[in-house]
Amino acid sequence: MFLAITMGGSGTGPSFSVAYGANLIKKSLIPGLFGLMVFIGAIVAGKNTSVTLGKDILPSEMMTYGLVSIILLSVSLSLLFANIVGIPQSTSQATIMAITAPALYYNMLNTNKLLVDILPTWFVLPLISFILCFLIGKYIYHPIRKRGYLMSAKTHSHPILQVLVVGMSLYVAFSIGANNVANAAGPIASMTLNEMDIEPTEHNFLLIMMLSTLIVAPNFAIGSSVFGNKIMQNTGKEIILFGKIEAIIIAFVTASLLLMASVFKGVPTSLVQLNVGAILGIGVAKLGAKNIFKKTEVNKFFIIWLISPIMAFSISLFLTWLVDCYGW
């Protein structure tokens, strides 16, 4: 539950910063809507990422009370740090690194899954997000805008456009549910099967995963309420001022890429980085690379993205060693 709260804080910015940055939704409504869509996304499309985190990196029989507690605590602390700083962080990357630590310690790491599927996805998808939004911004959106088709106040205040922006934010939250709830639900499902001595069939795993989701997902709304405001300020207001159409482009590209990674590959990946990649792509197309990359918030993002997963890995490795040394 503590991890879900920190994940909720971290995920609020990428999902609702576009609508918040375009002044289309009240701050007080965001936590409830965010929590609801995260829950639906986890139930409908979260199966594959839960399997990856529950048994594809570290064998499921190793997911005991001790190790799962270490993994979840390590991720929670690293995300808490990122939330306090006010930078949205990749829950998936922190979780993968926290699971990798005991897997390496016990020499049980599935290197094929990590090196062939997961790591390349982390690097490739944000780049695709940046390129897609840059190309759309430079060669489709801005030429149309220059001709005056999108400049009128009537166009920007059109109800359909406003509904689309909010709808895209809900779509992003749905994608977060499909990908990020597994960070807690996957290890918990494997641990429960082990501790109850239940045969780990696909049916049993999915049933326990869904029960875990019922506990985990609602806490995303609490985290959104506690930590979401500062993160939305950073992503929604300080990097670039969004237009409504730009907001739709950013939300659609990032949510679609994340959902594809969840459903087709079962790879836990970073919506935060996809989102910022899309924001930067639109920003570079609009203002130029010099103006965007000089912004201090962007530089701070990259630093925290490096620190937080390393912190999760280090805490997890230290606690695993400590528990093993003292026979706890």
189 vs 10, higher pLDDT: 189
User: Which band of pLDDT confidence, cut at 50, 70 and 90, is reported for residue 262?
Assistant: very high
Annotate 149-211 with DSSP letters as a single string.
TT-SHHHHT-HHHHHHHHHHHHHHHHHHHHHHTHHHHHHHHHHHHHHTT----HHHHHHHHHH
pLDDT in tens, 70-125: 999 999 998 888 778 777 677 888 899 999 999 999 999 999 989 999 999 999 99
For the chain, the domains span: 2-326
Q: For 28-51, what is each residue's pLDDT tens digit?
A: 888 899 989 998 999 899 888 988
Q: For residue 10, what are its two tokens? A: 């971290």
Eight-state DSSP code of residue 264:
I
Please say if the pLDDT value at position 296 is more than 50. Answer: no
Is the per-residue pLDDT at 265 higher than 60? Answer: yes
Predicted local distance difference test score (pLDDT) of residue 162: 82
CA dist., res. 13 & res. 236, Å (int): 7
- Comparing 252 with 290, which gets the higher pLDDT? 252
pLDDT at residue 236 is higher than 60 = no
Residues 6+ apart with CB under 8 A from 35: 8, 217, 218, 220, 221, 222, 224
Residue 156: predicted pLDDT: 64
How confident is the prediction for the chain on average, in pLDDT? Answer: 84
Read off the pTM: 0.86
- Contact predicate 320/105, CB 8 Å: yes
Q: How far apart are CA 102 and CA 319, in angstroms?
A: 9
Neighbouring residues of 322: CB distance < 8 A, sequence distance ≥ 6: 328
